[in-house]
Structure 1
Amino acid sequence: MRPSVNEAPELAVRWTGVGVETGFVAREDGFDLRFAGRTVLRHRPACPAVAIGRGDPAITMFRGNYRIEDSPEPLAAPADWALYEDAVVLSDRAGPAVRLGLVGNRLTVAALRPGADRLTVRFAAEPDEAVWGGGEQMSYLALNGRRFPIWTSEPGVGRDKSTALTRRMDEEGMAGGDYWTTNYPQPTFLTARWLAVHLAEACYSVLDFTDPAHHVVEAWRSEAVFELFADTGPIGLVGQLSTRFGRQPELPDWAIGGAIVGLKAGTDSFARLERFLAAGTAVSGLWCEDWAGIRETSFGRRLFWDWHVGARSAARYPDLTARIAALRERGIRFLAYANPYLAADGDLFAEGLAGGHFALRQDSDEVYLVDFGEFDCGVVDFTRAETRAWFAERVLAREMLDRGMAGWMADFGEYLPTDVRLADGSDPMEAHNRWPVLWAEVNAMALASRGLTGEALFFMRAGYSGVQAQCPLLWAGDQSVDFTRHDGIGTVLTGALSAGLVGNAYSHSDCGGYTSLHGNVRSAELLRRWAELAAFAPVMRSHEGNRPDDNLQYDSAPELLACFARWSRVHAALAPYVRHLAGEARATGLPLQRPLFLHYPADPALHAVQDQYLYGADLLVAPVIEAGQTARPVVLPGEGVWRHVWSGADLAAGTHVVAAPFDQPPVFYRPDSAFAALFAALPEALAA
C-alpha cells in the first residue's frame, strides 16, 4: 500500500487532477507523471516505473571494440509510493528505495539504497508509437523493437552477425560490430507524440524499445537526470533539441561550392588533382590525410600519428606550405588529418610526455599506451585544461592553420580505455562517452584562436551529447566498400537522418566507402552510385580507403573520373540552395537532410522510411543503394505533384516505381519552390 496523506502530514501533498499539464498525478491504482499534457511515466504496483540494482560489470576493449557485460543484482522494484509537492518516493518492505523529483523539464531519479548503481526507468509508451534518436544510428531510423546500448566505439566491420565477414572480424578482434554499434551514440529519443527524453549523463546506458508498452532507459548510475521536451510537431521538437545541444556555424562557401578530392599519394596527389580538374571537376579542396607521414600495417596503409611537419612530412610533401598557398590562389583549399593520440615512436610524444599531457596507468605513473593496430599511442588527456590548450595551439593551430590549411578530419575519439588514470580524477567509465565532446572542444578552440570559426572546417565521426555545439560537420565513419545492408552505402543515409534529429545539421560520407578487407573491394557500380548520393549532401568528399592500391579510385578509369566530375558540378550547382538551408539550420535547428515525417508528420507510413530523404523541404532524394538496381520505389509525400529533375515529368503524391539508370537517381522537387529554376537546371550541370 502507498502511504496516505495523513501518514506524512509535515509534507505538502499535491493531489492533482486528470487535466494537469505537467506534474505528478495521483490515480486510484498508482500515479502518472505528465509533461506538457503527455503521460511520461505510469507507475502501478504490478508494473513499477523504476527498478534499482547493483552492477557487476566485465569490460573488454581491443582496438576500439568493446565487450560490455553485466550481472546486476536486483535491489528493489518498489511498488508503494507517496506523492509530495514536487516529488514521489517509492518504497517497499525495506523502506524508501527511489525518489523522483521534477523541476521544470528535469526529472531526477535517485536510488536511496546504499550500493545501488543501476537504474531502470520505464517511460510510458502508446500503442504503435514510433521512436527515433539514439544519436547517429547506422542501421535503423525507427528504433522500435530493439535495444541500443549507448557507448561510443568502433562500429565494426560488417555489423551483421549473419554474414561471414562480420563473424570473421569478430574472431580476429571483436571487430565485427552489430546493428547498434556506432561512433556517435546519444541517450536521446523522440516519439510520435512529439515528446523527447534525454538522459543528461555520460554513463553507459541502454535505450530499450523491445516492449511496446514502455520506452525503457537503463543507466549505470545511482542518480540520473532526464530532460523532457515536447512540441506540437517534429519540426519544433527538433528545434528544441538543437537549441539544447548547440547549433553549428553555417558551412563556409568554399566547402559547399564543389567537391573535396581525397588523395593520399604524397606529392603525386598534386599531379593527380590536375587530372580531376582537367576532367571538369568542380574542386573546392584537396584533402591529403597522409600529410604527416604513413605507416604500412596488415590492415592497410595507415597514417603516422605524429601531427607536425617533420622529417616524415617533409619527405612525403616537400614545400607543403608553399603548395598550400599556391592552391589557395587557385581557389582550392588544402585539408589534412589529426586525431587525439600520439604515436609512441613519433617526435611529439616526448614533448607530450614532458608536459604531462598523457593519461596514465592506474597502478603507476607510466603513460597508458593503446594498441591501435600494430603501433602504440599515448592518449592525450583532455580532462586537463593545460593539455587541451597545448594540443589546440601546438598541433592544430601552429602545425595546420598557420600553414594555411583550411580544415581536417578530426578522427577517432572513441578509444578511451576504462582503466586509465585521468588528470581530473574522473571515472573513465563516465569520461569515455564524454571524450568525443572534449576532442571536439579542442578542435573548436584551435579555430577560434585564429578567428576561423565558420571559415576553416573540421569533421568528426565520434560524438556524444553536446558535440553539436563544438563540431561543425559530421562524417559517417568507415563504411565497407559495398552495398551491404548494415555496413554499406545505405548506412550513411540512416546516420545522417538519425543524427539530424538530435541537433546535427550537417553530415557527409567517404564517397566510395573506406573499409576494404578480406577481398571486399570497390566496384565501378559502387563508385558511380556513391557519387550520385554524395552530390546531394552538404559536403562532397572522396576517400581512397584503407587499401588504396587494391581498390578502384575515381581516377582509375576515364569513365569513373568523368562520373565524379559530373556529380561534383551538380553539387556545386546546388550551392545557393544549400546556403539557404544552412541559414535555416542556424535559425531553426533543422538539419539539411531530413526524414520524410519531419515535414509530413500525419502519415505513420513515413515513420520508418530511411532509404530516401528530403533535402530541405523542396527537394526529395531517393539514391540507389542496392547493387544491380535500375529502378526503385519512391514515396512522394503530402499532396500535389513532385517534378522529376531529369525528365521534367510531374508525378502525383504517392508511391511510384521510378527508373534509376546511372546518372539519373530518383530526385524530385516541388514545382512551386523558390528554387525551382535552380533544380530544373541540374541536368545542364550534369551534362556540362
Structure 2
Amino acid sequence: MKLRLEAGNDGFDLRFGDRLVLRHSLSCPAVVMARGNADIVMVRGNFRISDSPGDAVTPSGWRTCYQGVELLDGDVAVARIELASNTLKVRTLVAGYDRLRVNFHAEPGEHVWGGGEQMSYLALNGRAFPIWTSEPGVGRDKSTELTQIMDADGMAGGDYWNTNYPQPTFLTSRHDSCWLAVHLDASCYSVLDFTDPGVHAVDVWSNAATFELFADAAPTGLVGQLSTHFGRQPQLPDWAIGGAIVGLKSGASSFDRLERFIEAGAAVSAVWCEDWAGVRETTFGRRLFWDWHNGTRSAQRYPDLKARIAGLHGRGIRFMAYANPYIAVDGDLYEEGRAGGHFCLRQDSDDVYLVDFGEFDCGVVDFTREATRAWFAERVLGREMLDIGIDGWMADFGEYLPTDLRLADGSDPMQAHNLWPVLWAEVNARAVESRGRTGDAVFFMRAGFSGVQAHCPLLWAGDQSVDFTRHDGIGTVITGALSAGLVGNAYSHSDCGGYTSLHGNIRTPELMQRWCELAAFAPVMRSHEGNRPDDNLQYDSNAELLACFARWSRVHAHLAPYVRQLCIKASEAGLPAQRPLFLHYPDEPALFTVQDQFLYGADLLVAPVIEQGAVQRQVILPGEGLWRHVWTGADYAPGTHTVPAPIGQPPVFYRPDSDFAALFAGLQEVLNR
C-alpha cells in the first residue's frame, strides 16, 4: 500500500491505498506554519509549557514537484510535502518557521485512540493531548481540592493529558473495515488535537515533520503492525507471571514480613525491596536514597544482602530492587560519576546541572554519551545489582530532563526530553543482556516514548492516588494498560494498593481489596507500600487484608498457563495481554469508548469494581455466544447486564468454548481455598 496524490478542483487529496488521509483545499488547508515563541517552566518533573506563535502562514495554492507537492502563499513556495510508500514528510521552506500544524482527514463518527499511555481517556475524540513526558500530577482534575492544593505546590496537580508515557501515534476507525494509524516520527514537543471533528490535527514544534502511516482491515492487525514497527518485548518469565511480587520496604524486617505472606497461603514469586540502597525521610514521605549500589547504606538497611538473596533463590523466590537515572549529590557514586564526566552540565559552565527532587539534589546521568551508557549499565546495574543476584527492578523516572542543560552530544534538550525514557530503557536492557538474562531478569518502567517498546519488558502505571477518583485513582490503571497496549506494549501492571497518599488521602480496606481483584488479572501482580507507608494500611496490617492478598495471589498464579499463551501471542502477533473490547469486536461501535472493563486475551472478560461503595456494576458482554460468570457458573447472553459485584467477586466472565475453560472454571475453587 502506497501514498498517492489525487488532484481536485481547488486542492488535492492524499490517499493511502484507497483511504483518504489528508485533504488540502481553500477551506481546509493541509498545513499551517508559524514562528514559535515558547515559555517552559519545570518544577520537579512538572512542566508548564506555553507558546505565542507569530507570523502564521496558511498556504492556499499548490503545485506538484518531485516526489510530492509544494504549498504556496501567493506565488511563493512556503512548504513542501514529500511522499514515499507509507511516509509523509512536511517541511517549511522559509527560514525561522519552526511550528507546523498538519491537518489529517477525519470523517463523521470516527473514533480515535492512542497517544501513548493515557490515564483519563481511552477514546481521544474532542480533546487535545500534548506529547511531553512528565509527572502525571496528583489528582489530575482541576475541579478537585487535592489537585488545586498540588497545583499551588510546584504545579504538581496535573491534568487529564499529563502522562509519564506519551507517544505521538493515533489510531482511527472509519467504520468500513478501514483501520488507520498515523505516527509522528519526531521527539520534539507536539500536540495531538482532536477538538475539531473535521480534522485530526497534529502540532509539531519543528520546521519539519515525518509521519508514518499504517492500515489494516482489522484493529488486531493494525496493533500487530505497530508492535512490529516499535519493537516487541520478550516473553515474561515464568516466575513473573506465576505468583505475586510482594513489595516491602522496611529493611531487614521485610524478610520476616514476607514469611507472614507465605504462611497466609500467598503464592509468592518475588519480594521487591525498593529501599535496598537506603532511605531518607522528606515531607513528601519516605524516599529512597538515590545512590544505586550495595554499599554502606545498603549494608545497614539489608545486612548480608547477597547471601539473603541466595537463600531466597533456594526457595524459588526472586529478589527485586529499584534504580533511576539520577544520583544524589550526597551519595557515594556521585563523585565517581562527576569525575567520569557522566552527568549533564549547566549551559553557562562546566558544573554539573543539579535537579531538585524535593529536599535533595541530584545529577542527571547523561545517556547521550556512550561511555556513560556503558558505565551505568555495567558499573551500576551490572556489578552493583545483577551480580549480587538481583532479579529485576523498578527502573523509575526518566521524565525529568530539563530543557536548559547541556548534553554531551550537543543535542537540543527540547528534542532529547521525550527520548530520555527510551535511552533509559536501552541502558537497562543493555545491562540485562550483558549478563545473559534477557527474558529472565525483569525491569519495569513508568516513563516512555516512541521506541521504548523495543527495550522495556514491562510497564507499570505510575503513581496513582490511593482512592477511587476518576482521573487519578484505581480505574486509571485500566485505561493506561489499554491505551499503551494499542501502540505496542504487551504487558502492564500497577502498584496494588495505590501509591500517592497526601493531605489526608489514605488507603481504605475497600480500596485495598478492590485493587487486589484488579491486579490478579494483570500479567504481573505486585504490591506497593506507597509514599507514606506508616500512615497507610498495608496488606499485612491485619489478618483480613493478608488473607485477601493471599487469595488473589493464588488466582493470579492459577492463571499462569493462560498468561503464558498470551505471552506467546504477544511475541507472535503483537497483541497485548489486556485489550479493549473493540479490538476483537470492531463491528460494535458502542464498545469504542469502553475503558472500565477489558478483555484479558480473547477468552476472559474482566470488569473490575472501581467505584467506591459499589456492590454491583453494569457489564457489557460483546459478540455472539454465551459468556459464563466465573464465580457462579451462570451463563449470560451478549448485551448489557447489571451484575452483582460484592467485595471478593468482581465480574469476570469466560467463553465456555475456550481451550482454557477448565482452567477458568477452577478459579472459584482457588479463590475459596
Same fold (TM over 0.5): yes
> In the alignment, residue 131 of structure 1 is paired with which amino acid?
V
> In the alignment, residue 539 of structure 2 is paired with which amino acid?
Y
Q: 2:102·2:202 contact (CA, 8 Å) conserved in 1?
A: yes
Q: 2:3·2:87 contact (CA, 8 Å) conserved in 1?
A: no
What is the rounded CA distance, in whole Å, between the counterparts of 2:73 and 2:481 in structure 1? 45
Which residue number in structure 1 is paired with residue 271 of structure 2?
Answer: 286
Which residue number in structure 2 is paired with residue 538 of structure 1?
Answer: 523
Which residue number in structure 1 is paired with residue 98 of structure 2?
Answer: 117
Which residue number in structure 2 is paired with residue 184 of structure 1?
Answer: 165
What do you get for the CA RMSD once the two structures are aligned? 0.8
1:336 aligns with 2:321: yes
> In the alignment, residue 50 of structure 1 is paired with which amino acid?
V
What is the CA-CA distance between 1:75 and the residue it aligns to?
A: 3.1
Mean Cα deviation higher: 364-373 or 43-52: 43-52
Q: 2:106·2:200 contact (CA, 8 Å) conserved in 1?
A: yes
Q: 1:53·1:76 contact (CA, 8 Å) conserved in 2?
A: yes
What is the CA-CA distance between 1:533 and the residue it aligns to?
A: 0.2
Q: 2:233·2:455 contact (CA, 8 Å) conserved in 1?
A: yes
Which residue number in structure 1 is paired with residue 86 of structure 2?
Answer: 105
Q: Map 1:415-494 onto structure 2 (within 5 A).
A: 415-494=400-479
> In the alignment, residue 97 of structure 2 is paired with which amino acid?
A
Of 20, 25, 39, 1:58 maps to: 39
Q: 1:26·1:83 contact (CA, 8 Å) conserved in 2?
A: no
What is the CA-CA distance between 1:225 and the residue it aligns to?
A: 0.3
> In the alignment, residue 248 of structure 1 is paired with which amino acid?
Q
Which residue number in structure 1 is paired with residue 390 of structure 2?
Answer: 405
1:683 aligns with 2:668: yes
> In the alignment, residue 63 of structure 2 is paired with which amino acid?
A
What is the CA-CA distance between 1:179 and the residue it aligns to?
A: 0.1
| Equivalenced residues, count | 669
Of 258, 273, 280, 2:258 maps to: 273
What SS does the aligned partner of 1:405 have?
A: coil
Q: 2:231·2:488 contact (CA, 8 Å) conserved in 1?
A: yes
Which residue number in structure 2 is paired with residue 382 of structure 1?
Answer: 367
Q: 1:266·1:317 contact (CA, 8 Å) conserved in 2?
A: yes
> In the alignment, residue 90 of structure 2 is paired with which amino acid?
V
What is the rounded CA distance, in whole Å, between the counterparts of 1:512 and 1:94 in structure 2? 63
> Matched residues, percent identical?
74
Q: 2:245·2:525 contact (CA, 8 Å) conserved in 1?
A: yes
Q: 1:260·1:540 contact (CA, 8 Å) conserved in 2?
A: yes
What SS does the aligned partner of 1:272 have?
A: helix
> In the alignment, residue 53 of structure 1 is paired with which amino acid?
A
Which residue number in structure 2 is paired with residue 523 of structure 1?
Answer: 508
Which residue number in structure 2 is paired with residue 17 of structure 1?
Answer: none
Q: Could you report, residue by residue, the CA deviation over 1:422-451 in whole angstroms, capped at 9, with x for unpaired residues? A: 000000000000000000000000000000
What is the CA-CA distance between 1:196 and the residue it aligns to?
A: 0.4
Mean Cα deviation higher: 32-41 or 284-293: 32-41
What is the rounded CA distance, in whole Å, between the counterparts of 1:327 and 1:372 in structure 2? 33
> In the alignment, residue 242 of structure 2 is paired with which amino acid?
G
Which residue number in structure 2 is paired with residue 232 of structure 1?
Answer: 217
1:577 aligns with 2:523: no
Q: 1:21·1:38 contact (CA, 8 Å) conserved in 2?
A: no
What SS does the aligned partner of 1:107 have?
A: strand
What is the CA-CA distance between 1:93 and the residue it aligns to?
A: 2.2
What is the rounded CA distance, in whole Å, between the counterparts of 2:260 and 2:2 in structure 1? 64
What is the CA-CA distance between 1:381 and the residue it aligns to?
A: 0.1
Which residue number in structure 2 is paired with residue 512 of structure 1?
Answer: 497
Q: 1:281·1:565 contact (CA, 8 Å) conserved in 2?
A: yes
1:146 aligns with 2:131: no
Mean Cα deviation higher: 555-564 or 41-50: 41-50
What is the rounded CA distance, in whole Å, between the counterparts of 1:243 and 1:71 in structure 2? 38
What is the rounded CA distance, in whole Å, between the counterparts of 1:57 and 1:130 in structure 2? 31
What is the rounded CA distance, in whole Å, between the counterparts of 2:663 and 2:621 in structure 1? 20
What is the rounded CA distance, in whole Å, between the counterparts of 1:102 and 1:145 in structure 2? 29
Q: Could you report, residue by residue, the CA deviation over 1:546-577 in whole angstroms, capped at 9, with x for unpaired residues? A: 00000000000100000000000000000000
What is the CA-CA distance between 1:685 and the residue it aligns to?
A: 1.0
What is the rounded CA distance, in whole Å, between the counterparts of 2:49 and 2:354 in structure 1? 21
Of 264, 269, 286, 1:301 maps to: 286
> In the alignment, residue 372 of structure 1 is paired with which amino acid?
F
What is the CA-CA distance between 1:28 and the residue it aligns to?
A: 1.1
Q: Could you report, residue by residue, the CA deviation over 1:16-64 in whole angstroms, capped at 9, with x for unpaired residues? A: xxxx973011011210000021100010012211001110000000000
Which residue number in structure 1 is paired with residue 352 of structure 2?
Answer: 367
Which residue number in structure 2 is paired with residue 30 of structure 1?
Answer: 11
What is the rounded CA distance, in whole Å, between the counterparts of 2:205 and 2:49 in structure 1? 12
- TM-score relative to the length of structure 2: 0.99
Of 147, 166, 173, 1:166 maps to: 147
Which residue number in structure 1 is paired with residue 30 of structure 2?
Answer: 49
Which residue number in structure 2 is paired with residue 245 of structure 1?
Answer: 230
What is the rounded CA distance, in whole Å, between the counterparts of 1:537 and 1:451 in structure 2? 26
Which residue number in structure 2 is paired with residue 12 of structure 1?
Answer: none
Which residue number in structure 2 is paired with residue 658 of structure 1?
Answer: 643
Of 573, 581, 587, 2:572 maps to: 587
Q: 1:23·1:86 contact (CA, 8 Å) conserved in 2?
A: no
Which residue number in structure 2 is paired with residue 9 of structure 1?
Answer: none
> In the alignment, residue 136 of structure 1 is paired with which amino acid?
E
- TM-score relative to the length of structure 1: 0.97
Q: 2:2·2:85 contact (CA, 8 Å) conserved in 1?
A: no
CA shift in 2, pair 1:21/1:304, >3 Å: closer
Which residue number in structure 2 is paired with residue 630 of structure 1?
Answer: 615
What is the rounded CA distance, in whole Å, between the counterparts of 2:351 and 2:424 in structure 1? 22
Q: Could you report, residue by residue, the CA deviation over 1:76-118 in whole angstroms, capped at 9, with x for unpaired residues? A: 1100011245201000126101100111111000101110000
Which residue number in structure 1 is paired with residue 63 of structure 2?
Answer: 82
> In the alignment, residue 413 of structure 1 is paired with which amino acid?
G
Mean Cα deviation higher: 409-418 or 80-89: 80-89
What is the rounded CA distance, in whole Å, between the counterparts of 2:18 and 2:152 in structure 1? 50
1:549 aligns with 2:534: yes
Which residue number in structure 2 is paired with residue 135 of structure 1?
Answer: 116
What is the rounded CA distance, in whole Å, between the counterparts of 1:195 and 1:98 in structure 2? 25
Q: Is there any run of 5+ residues in structure 1 with no aligned partner, and where?
A: 1-19
> In the alignment, residue 54 of structure 1 is paired with which amino acid?
R
Q: 1:22·1:37 contact (CA, 8 Å) conserved in 2?
A: no
Q: 2:233·2:489 contact (CA, 8 Å) conserved in 1?
A: yes
What SS does the aligned partner of 1:451 have?
A: coil
What is the rounded CA distance, in whole Å, between the counterparts of 2:426 and 2:383 in structure 1? 17
What is the rounded CA distance, in whole Å, between the counterparts of 1:378 and 1:94 in structure 2? 52
Of 577, 580, 602, 2:587 maps to: 602
What SS does the aligned partner of 2:620 have?
A: strand
Q: 1:111·1:222 contact (CA, 8 Å) conserved in 2?
A: yes
Q: 1:496·1:507 contact (CA, 8 Å) conserved in 2?
A: yes
What is the rounded CA distance, in whole Å, between the counterparts of 1:476 and 1:598 in structure 2? 21
Which residue number in structure 2 is paired with residue 16 of structure 1?
Answer: none
Q: Could you report, residue by residue, the CA deviation over 1:582-621 in whole angstroms, capped at 9, with x for unpaired residues? A: 0000000000000000000011100000000000000000
Which residue number in structure 1 is paired with residue 485 of structure 2?
Answer: 500
Q: Is there any run of 5+ residues in structure 2 with no aligned partner, and where?
A: none
What is the rounded CA distance, in whole Å, between the counterparts of 2:3 and 2:443 in structure 1? 41
> In the alignment, residue 623 of structure 2 is paired with which amino acid?
G
Q: Could you report, residue by residue, the CA deviation over 1:380-439 in whole angstroms, capped at 9, with x for unpaired residues? A: 000000100000000001111100110000000000000010000000000000000000
Q: 1:81·1:91 contact (CA, 8 Å) conserved in 2?
A: yes
| Runs of 4+ with >6 A deviation | none
